[in-house]
Structure formats: C-alpha cells, structure tokens
Amino acid sequence: MEMFINITINGLATGMLIFLLAAGLTLIFGLMDVLNFAHGALFLWGAYAGIWTYTTSGSFIFGIIAAIVACCILGYLLERFIVKPVYGNHIQQILITLGAMLVLSELVKVVWGPNIIHARAPEWLRGSWEIGGIFLIKYRVFIIIVGLIVFAGLLFLLNRTKLGLVVRAGVMDKEMVQALGINIRKVFLFVFILGAGMAGLGGMLFGPYSGVIYAEIGLEYGILAFIVVVIGGMGSVLGSMIAALLVGILGSYAAYFLPEIALAVNFLLMIFILVFKPSGIMGMKEALK
C-alpha cells in the first residue's frame, strides 16, 4: 500500500509540474491560435534562472520570484518580436518558435555551461512525514499544493473576473471581442506573459524535484505539455489539469512496473483519447478546427 501511495504522489507531483507548463500553453493556443513550440524553453529558463538565484542567495523564495520574473520578461520579448509577426500563420509559427526553442536552449549552455546543475530542496522541505506508517516526501506534497493553488487561481481569474470574461470570450470569438472595443492584443500579451510565468514557476520547482537540471528539459517537458493540451482539449484549463494528472500518474506507474514502455505510454494515451474524442477530454468540436 505504501508503494502505491508513493508512486501516486510522485505521479501527482509530476502531473502538477506538467500542468504549470501546459495551462499557459492551452490558453495561448485557445486565445491566440498560436502554436508556441518555444514554450518549453521558458520552463528551461525558469529552472536555470531560479536555481541559480536560489543557490546564489540561499533563498528558495527568491529563486521562485526570479524564475517567474525572468520568464515573464522572456515571454514578453518572445510575444513582441517572435510570435506577433506570425499571427495567423501556423506554418511560420511552428518554424520560428522551434527556432527560438533551439536558440534559447543553446543560450542556456552559453550562460550557465553545458554540464548538469544539481539542485536540492530547501531545508524546510527536505525529508518526509510519516502518517499511519506511510512516508510522504515533503517536497512532492509541496509541489502538489502549489499546483492546486495555481489551478484554483486560474479558475478564479477566468470565471470570476472581468479580465477572465474577456479571455474566455476571446477564446470563443476573437473578432467579436475586438468589435466591442476591447484591445484583444493587450489581452494576448497578458495571456502570453501569464503562461510564461507559470512555465517559469514549473521549471524552478522541477529542479529540486529531479535533483538536477540540464539543457534538454525544455524539449522533454515541452513535448509532454503538448500531449497534455491535446488530451485535455484546446483552450481548457480544467482539461489540462485532468490530462496532466493522467499523464503524470500513468507515467509514474509505467516507469515503476514497465520501464521499457514508459516513454510510449503517454503517446498511447493521447492516441486512445483522440480516437474516441478527437476534441480532447474537455474540448469542443471546434477546438481542433
């Protein structure tokens, strides 16, 4: 029983990290109709900027703030100079954002070097709690709690605020929102920066979770984020959360019991969902048009 609980918690923590990356990605695609393959690079830069600040200052909180701020700035620059010129052209979006992904991944090596960097959880998040003979690793529980807080905050923003109303309306009909006199471009920029900040947060939390960070994590988790967005449904935050937890938990069990097929499990899940519900778990039929 302890083994199953620990594997599940590990899967939930992994799922939350993927959600932090995928939630911004699904909003960016749903509202802006942008295929941003550079989104994983924001996760990567969040990890490096956050862990470097954490290691240098000794403050885990400063590390989190630095990761979010760095990725918000990077997200602003990406939207202004890389994504904005190719709005409405998916082929160009794929090519230019893939190029940006490669450039940003190489820049990490230039700034911090090509070697892996070790990362440890802060003292107050090391170790575990024992509950009924079951050991719960503190840092994994912390990641789950942070993920739930971000998820609740996103739902509140989208469903309880005027800005959220504009974002949801923009997902359904951008032209109508613009016709009502709302500057949809500013909303685009806000959503892009919000998604970038969440990706940075996820990258920072990933460091102590895995114990090391390296230049390839942007591509690895970027692929997982796209799988989650497709499974959950384009433009659906709730769908992204459900899909991320499915991917995380399934991946953890596969890695433990059938490690040889662990990499293929997520793709098989995506194929299974698409066969029976092409628009994704929470997506609409129009979402893939």
Successive 10-residue mean pLDDT values, the chain, 289 residues:
85 93 84 84 96 95 96 94 87 92 94 93 90 84 94 90 82 78 84 93 94 92 90 87 93 88 85 87 54
Q: Which fold has domain 1-276?
A: ABC transporter involved in vitamin B12 uptake, BtuC (1.10.3470)
Residue 259, token pair as written in the block: 């490690």
| 280 and 234 Cβ atoms separated by less than 8 Å | yes
* Contact assessment for residue 83 and residue 35, using Cβ atoms and an 8 Å cutoff: no
- Angstrom CA distances, 122 to 49, 90, 198, 207, stand at 16, 42, 21, 11
Q: Is residue 131 within a helix (H) or strand (E), and if so which, with residue range?
A: strand 128-131
Question: How far is it, in rounded angstroms, from Cα 190 to Cα 194?
Answer: 6
Residue 158's pLDDT is what?
85
The number of residues making up the chain comes to 289
- What pLDDT shows up at residue 289? 35
Question: Quick one: pLDDT at residue 284?
Answer: 55
Residue 30 and residue 208 in contact, taking contact as beta carbons nearer than 8 Å = no
pLDDT at 286: 40
Domain locations along the chain:
1-276
